[in-house]
Structure 1
Amino acid sequence: MKLTMYLGQVNHGILKEHDHKVASFLQIYSKHSEKLLNETPEPVYEIERICGERLPPPWTEIVFHHIMACMGVRDGDYVAAYSEQSNAISTFLREFQAMTNWCLETLYILNGDLRRLAVQADKQLEARGDKPSKLEDCARTINKSFTACITDRAPLDASKKWGTYNIIGILFRTYFKLKSHNLCKNILRAVKAADLPDLEQFPMAHQVTMRYYTGVLSFFNEDFKKAEPDLQFAFDHTPPHFHNNRRLILHYLIPTRLLHGSLPSVRLLQEFPELSTLYQPLATAIKTGNVQMFDEALVSGGSRLISLGTYLTVEQSRGVAVRTLFKKVFTSMDRTNRLSVSQFQTALAFVGVKVDEDEVECMLANMIYNGYIRGYISHEKRVLVLSQKDPFPGLESQQQ
């Protein structure tokens, strides 16, 4: 595509306020940029001159920096490309308040590409032996975009506040990459204090992204009661063809549900082979009360669970496997409400877990504390006295 033709298309989109059209022409990894760069490139000063002739301000600068960023990507210089993309966004944000909300799609594209370039630029800086600093700088720029959206004072039907949650998604993805989850709290506080429409009024894609991130943040804070509905909503409303997104949600949703004995179906795991390898043995162990199998599966998948940050949560669900086994002891003894500690010790030994009676007492005490069992332990008599009513209550009510 000739530069003049490209700029003509961009200018037409700007004049007609065609949001998706302009955004697509300003996307670095797009067919338009690829076609443009396949042509013989003009000298930089010539590109700048032609942009000035063909486009109104501030689009002259925005598009020029976009083209320079594309050329940086083409040449494999991601540090230079990042710098140009950052200049494009800075120019865009200076004029953002004077624009109408048709330009939100462009804002999303500029910020999303900035994040991608920052990741690549940091890799290059590390390879050179320099400090990787672009992703941190990127987070500050995206934060400015967030502020510009959430503080917009235009009437609601024309407000740029409608872009708030989309920008939050890009910002949170950046914070997660930086392992700076704590910074998300500041954004959530700002959202709570702002005069925003209810989340349900935003596009479903924005809702899903927001519920996913709030679910994961609650998961990391061990607030599983809050995490589960957010993650479940995100999973239920993510179309099946977004396979990788659904798999990512399940990495946090499955451990959350394991804590109250809700096991993933075979059909679900078959859809995600990686998850099947990781969770099928754990689910089988919980269902059958085979504590030894659970421990072996936890060791086998440990490195993967640690990398996801879900290991400790999955480890907590061991208590559900122990509960299943102990309930089998209760059932096999005609549901008597007085059971000796040694009977539970024998059951554990049967599934390959050899512990002394003191350890068994400790396990029973934890079961009672976590609400998995109702009763008390007579330490002197080494007996568990179970409640006459519902000694093994439903696990849903005991979710942490």
Structure 2
Amino acid sequence: MVTINLDAYFIHKRYDDGLLQFLKNDNYEEAHTYRLTMKNDGKLDQLYNVTMDLKFASWVNDDKQKIFDLADEQLRLFNRIAEVETDWIVYPLYYVAHQYLQIARKIRVKDDKMDKNAYLERCGRAIHRSFNLCLNDRNPELHEDRKTGCYLLANLEFKLYHLLGNRDMMKNLVKVLQSRGDEIPPLAQSLAALHSKHLVMFNYYMGEYYGCYESDFTKGHSFLSEALLECATNICDKQIDKILILLIPFALLTTRQYPNVNVWQEKLTDNFVALKVHEPIVSCLLNGDLKTYDTNFAKNEIFFLQNGLYVAMSLLRELVFLRLVKNCWKFTGMPSVLQLQAVATAYSKSAQGYKKRKPAKADDLLLDELECQLANLIAKNLVKGYLSHANRCLVLSKKLPFPSQST
């Protein structure tokens, strides 16, 4: 029998696994005795009673609603206690909030009598209170400031809003983090830096937000690259896969970097969705195959919508067309004046799947369409030159017709 003196944590302002073990909801039957004699306006007594009730209810496991209500009360009491504590309380606070979210997720699936999102929304209000307790700390001693835990609680909110599909709340949270950026410690100097999974999670959610919701692929690429670099050996393959699903198209759009699929296949397992979905896309970007690209896009359209990649993948078709134009330019001897009829022939063959039958001469409608697409490439500085509508040709720069970034 192990006796744990809970008074010591609040007297010495520190925590260890003993306190976390006490706060845990599923270890009632383990051989631990918890002792609490310290007076704290009744808040600690209430926390003790609620936590022990939660342990017992979780052990018996016969009333999901009661378990949820006790977890809600436990976090609310811990929020009240944390108001007068320093930074030492932050990780135990996160621990309780994370446990509450796990309980809310389980009951959300199993309870059909209540709105499935109602439990998560109620959980979100309590967790947001925890986040504000850290964000609004005014402790003059910076090394004791609870702001160091903002990213831990923000990760829980990101996860919760992701489950709810609430883009507006996610946007509000990002705005708060941005507006208070001068007050909050940098991510690398926060409590999250002591737990690599939190660094990965925060960078992933920020990358997803900017790339999938705001179509800011540069910022999305930056955050997701950090997330991938932070992935250590203890991070599961599933997390790496989730990062690569977003990172590969964002990298293609922003830096024109083509991942070496063969190298990735050697390092990763065959179960990686990112490789299965993006490998044919990468091949199309290298050879300008519009037909194969369109086929794969249609095949995975629902997947792209579910993962917020529809806009990014639509924009990648423009780069496939760019590759087609560049290949056509090389095939015709790299002239400074590229006839649109030659581009139209290559375009028709690519869009039809490179059939053996020679396509008919392009009509004015197709040439006008190609002029519009080429004008977009020129406007985005992917092609240097100008169009001559009267002569139906593309006049290219003699120095660098296709900037290095677009190769």
TM-score normalised over the length of structure 1: 0.85
State the match for 1:60 in structure 2.
Answer: 45
SS at match of 1:385: strand
Q: Is the 8 A contact 1:19 1:106 kept in 2?
A: no
One-letter amino acid of the counterpart of residue 260, structure 2: S
How far off its partner does 1:62 sit?
2.1
One-letter amino acid of the counterpart of residue 362, structure 1: C
Deviations 1:342-388 (A, max 9, x none): 11111123334388333322322222233221222222221111122
One-letter amino acid of the counterpart of residue 265, structure 1: N
State the match for 1:81 in structure 2.
Answer: 67
1:200 to 169, 184, 188: 188
Q: Does 1:374 align with 2:384?
A: yes
Q: Is the 8 A contact 1:290 1:325 kept in 2?
A: yes
d(CA) in 1 for partners of 2:387 and 2:321? 17
State the match for 1:164 in structure 2.
Answer: 150
More displaced stretch, 360-369 vs 316-325: 360-369
d(CA) in 2 for partners of 1:76 and 1:373? 67
Deviations 1:282-330 (A, max 9, x none): 1111111111111112122222222111122112111111111110111
SS at match of 1:339: strand
One-letter amino acid of the counterpart of residue 150, structure 1: L
Residues 372 and 79 of structure 1, relative CA distance in 2, 3 Å threshold: farther
One-letter amino acid of the counterpart of residue 78, structure 1: K
More displaced stretch, 83-92 vs 385-394: 385-394
Greater share of residues in helix: 1
Superposition RMSD in Å: 2.7
Identical amino acids, percent of aligned pairs: 23
d(CA) in 1 for partners of 2:115 and 2:56? 23
Deviations 1:71-126 (A, max 9, x none): 4445254332221111001111112122232222211111111112222222234x
State the match for 1:340 in structure 2.
Answer: 339
One-letter amino acid of the counterpart of residue 398, structure 2: Q
State the match for 2:399 in structure 1.
Answer: 389
Alignment of 1:203-282 (within 5 A): 203-204=192-193, 205=196, 206-219=198-211, 220-242=213-235, 243-259=237-253, 260-266=255-261, 267-270=263-266, 271=268, 273-282=272-281
d(CA) in 1 for partners of 2:260 and 2:58? 44
1:115 to 91, 94, 101: 101
Residues 38 and 207 of structure 1, relative CA distance in 2, 3 Å threshold: closer
How far off its partner does 1:265 sit?
2.1
d(CA) in 2 for partners of 1:296 and 1:247? 23
Q: Is the 8 A contact 1:51 1:64 kept in 2?
A: no
d(CA) in 2 for partners of 1:268 and 1:93? 45
d(CA) in 1 for partners of 2:24 and 2:215? 38
d(CA) in 1 for partners of 2:326 and 2:288? 9
Q: Is the 8 A contact 2:7 2:36 kept in 1?
A: no
Deviations 1:45-75 (A, max 9, x none): xxxxx98976765333224323433444452
Gaps of 5+ in 1: 40-49
SS at match of 2:395: strand
SS at match of 2:108: helix
d(CA) in 1 for partners of 2:251 and 2:325? 20
How far off its partner does 1:207 sit?
4.0
